[in-house]
Structure 1
Amino acid sequence: MKAETVMKQLTSQARLILIGRRSQKLKLLLLGQHINDGMAAKLFLYFMLSIVSYLYLQPFFYMISTMLKSLGDLLDPTVQWIPRVIDWGNLQKALDGLNYSESLVNTLTLAVVPSLISVLICSLTGYALARLQFPGKNLFFALIFITFLIPPQIIIIPLYVIYSKLGWLDSPFVFIIPALFGQGLKSALFIIIFRQFFLSLPKALEEAAMIDGASMFRLFFRIIIPLSVPACLVVFLFSFVWHWNEGYLSSMFLTHDFIPLSTRLSNLETEIFGQAPSMEMLAVNPVTEGTKMAGAFLIVFPPLLVYMIAQRWFVEGIERTGLVD
């Protein structure tokens, strides 16, 4: 009897140990050794990422769905996401209304040329602020930072008067010339990015090059620039997207001969109707929501394609320039 009792006790203890180990494994699987590496934390993270992804992608999916709908599908409340018949006419109307080929060339000119100039000028300025010593350096950096804080609406009137007197209105010079002087769109932010990146580089490379007899400009273009490719790519992509999407300054300075896509989109209804549509005209022959969404898609797609191609280098550049901090 004692042997049977001992065996039962041992068996119950073994079961308790087995249950404890299984519960410990289950706890470890759900919670992990740390709070952020368990299955529960990962499921919560995936859930939150799914919500954020939906919030970001839902407008894009709505834009694609709407531009492919016919007028009948747009007026039918039962048609939500998937159109009954795919209508490509909205894209054709948007292409005609935006004068897409000419406006695309104009927008590429406004986006690429000032962005390349900004990379060169802002990198030179950022390097000078990071490495060189000259009188008024801190004051100069403070003034650059102030220009980043001033909204363009405050100085739009004097800018318009100056550009008008110089004959730069309706030409790409309104974006190119300021970029040459480090005062282009968001140039102050780009100077700060380059300054922070150059401060993270070891000085030993520059000291070794100067011992070998390299001049300051040779040092910059032969050593510093090849090392700062990630920062250059980040600045170029940021500048490209901001110039591409710029609508306020374009609507003020570029309204007749040299018109970008952003200005064309705001005047899409007028381009299609030939005049500003009245309420009566919209009720009889409306500019469909599909045409507007098609125009928006045609404008969004080129920078989206550029980002898809340069995504890996862009993320690497963001990490190396310290913007994630």
Structure 2
Amino acid sequence: MDKTGKRKAFNTIKDHEDIKFRRKIFISKCVRKAMSLFRIITLIGISYIVLSPMISIISRAFFSESDVYNAMVYLIPQNGTLKNFKLSILRMNYWKTLGYSLLYIGTLTILQLFVCSTVGYGFARFEFPFKKLLFGCVILTIVIPSYTIMLPLYIHFRNFDPLHLSSLLGIGAQNWLTTVKPIYLMTILGCGLRSGLFIYIFIQFFRGIPKELEEAAFVDGAGAFRTFFTIMLPNAVPSIITVTVFSLVWQYNDSFYSGLFGIKSDYLISVKLASLTGTINSLDQIINPELQQAYLDAGIVLMVVPSVIIYILLQRKFVEGVERSGIVG
């Protein structure tokens, strides 16, 4: 074969390899674009599933009576009104109840922060008898559903007599139902709402802090409590922010303990919201279920707003705290 033929054959092979290479690049680009499109569609679908109920609630909260009876109105009200919000604020005694709720929830959150951080530090740094057993009990409070201990809790606080001391003193068992005493006591003793999870978060965070910091404090003459308050807590700000947000939101939305102990509606806005439909029905003689739902949706929006404000104010610190606390899922 002469040089011209060899050159042509070489060029043919080169062109063929070039075509194959371009084809691979094209297929790779198509696959990447298809995967990107699939991710976008999936995210849009998940976002719709998650946000659709809330969008529907916000929309119906502005429905006027004519919009409720108009079958053609679905999401966008034709005659939007704030009447639903005004009536819901009036019947829920919104501002007074919100003030009581924030005071009650803020107190519980501060107690949970102090108790859970102290217990978490003890588990993370000290050795003491039955440590593994007690840590297992903490894990059990996370794993076991609260509904399984409803009856014992109810009976215990219905006839509250710890170690029969009240009977020995001649006071007799006390009924703590319809009060906030049971929740305060459980929180102080480290078994309040989600306290087990908060203790675990603090344990994991304190374990990640170098022991050299504590050793240096001990050399300077600092005791365990001084080291905890001056060294450990300032370094635990991310976990504190995380627990604060979780505690505020979960206490604010709690319906389990408030319903179990029959807490008065003045203390929790969630209890007021649960009775809003009945209140409007009895006082305003509104018996149409769809119109009642519009007022209830307005109440839901009013209840959600404080949680959203808390998250917006603490968003950056909360995200950083979640990342540094090792919370996943």
- Normalising by the smaller structure, the TM-score range is 0.7 to 0.9
Where does 1:41-80 land on structure 2 (aligned, <5 Å)?
A: 41-80=35-74
Q: Paired residue for 1:24?
A: 24
Where does 1:77-156 land on structure 2 (aligned, <5 Å)?
A: 77-148=71-142, 149=144, 151=146, 152-154=149-151, 155-156=153-154
Q: Is the 8 A contact 2:154 2:261 kept in 1?
A: no
Distance between the aligned counterparts of 1:305 and 1:231, measured in 2?
20
SS in 1 for 2:160: helix
Distance between the aligned counterparts of 1:153 and 1:166, measured in 2?
19
Q: Paired residue for 2:325?
A: 321
Deviates more, 1:134-143 or 1:246-255: 246-255
Out of 201, 204, 217, which is 2:212 matched to? Answer: 204
5+ unaligned residues in a row in structure 1: which ranges? 32-37
Give the drift of 1:195: 1.0
Deviates more, 1:256-265 or 1:8-17: 8-17
Q: Is the 8 A contact 2:249 2:307 kept in 1?
A: yes
Q: Is the 8 A contact 2:62 2:82 kept in 1?
A: yes
Distance between the aligned counterparts of 1:67 and 1:298, measured in 2?
10
Give the drift of 1:191: 0.8
Give the drift of 1:272: 1.9
Q: Is the 8 A contact 1:69 1:85 kept in 2?
A: yes
Deviates more, 1:163-172 or 1:224-233: 163-172
Give the drift of 1:116: 1.5
Tell me if 1:300 matches 2:304: yes
Same amino acid, percent of matched pairs: 31
- Go from structure 1 to structure 2 and tell me whether the alpha carbon gap of 1:85 and 1:225 turns closer, same or farther (over 3 Å shift): same
Cα shift readout 1:23-59 (whole Å, capped 9, x = no counterpart): 232234344xxxxxx4433332222222221111111
Q: Paired residue for 1:259?
A: 267
Distance between the aligned counterparts of 2:17 and 2:265, measured in 1?
83
Amino acid at match of 2:312: M
Amino acid at match of 2:150: Q
Tell me if 1:216 matches 2:224: yes
- Go from structure 1 to structure 2 and tell me whether the alpha carbon gap of 1:212 and 1:43 turns closer, same or farther (over 3 Å shift): farther
CA RMSD of aligned residues (A): 2.8
Distance between the aligned counterparts of 1:45 and 1:96, measured in 2?
45
Amino acid at match of 1:16: H
Amino acid at match of 2:282: G
Out of 250, 267, 287, which is 1:282 matched to? Answer: 287
Cα shift readout 1:240-286 (whole Å, capped 9, x = no counterpart): 11110112322344554733111111110222233697xxx725x97
State the TM-score, normalized to the length of structure 1: 0.86
Out of 190, 214, 233, which is 1:182 matched to? Answer: 190
Amino acid at match of 1:29: K
Q: Paired residue for 1:309?
A: 313
Distance between the aligned counterparts of 1:189 and 1:23, measured in 2?
53
Q: Paired residue for 1:160?
A: 158
Give the drift of 1:211: 1.8
Q: Is the 8 A contact 2:92 2:276 kept in 1?
A: yes
Q: Paired residue for 2:167?
A: none
Deviates more, 1:182-191 or 1:152-161: 152-161
Q: Is the 8 A contact 1:110 1:244 kept in 2?
A: no
Amino acid at match of 1:27: I
Amino acid at match of 2:202: F
Deviates more, 1:197-206 or 1:228-237: 197-206
Q: Is the 8 A contact 1:71 1:288 kept in 2?
A: no
Distance between the aligned counterparts of 1:40 and 1:202, measured in 2?
46
State the TM-score, normalized to the length of structure 2: 0.85
Aligned positions, number: 314
Distance between the aligned counterparts of 1:165 and 1:244, measured in 2?
30
5+ unaligned residues in a row in structure 2: which ranges? 162-171
Deviates more, 1:176-185 or 1:93-102: 176-185
Deviates more, 1:198-207 or 1:8-17: 8-17
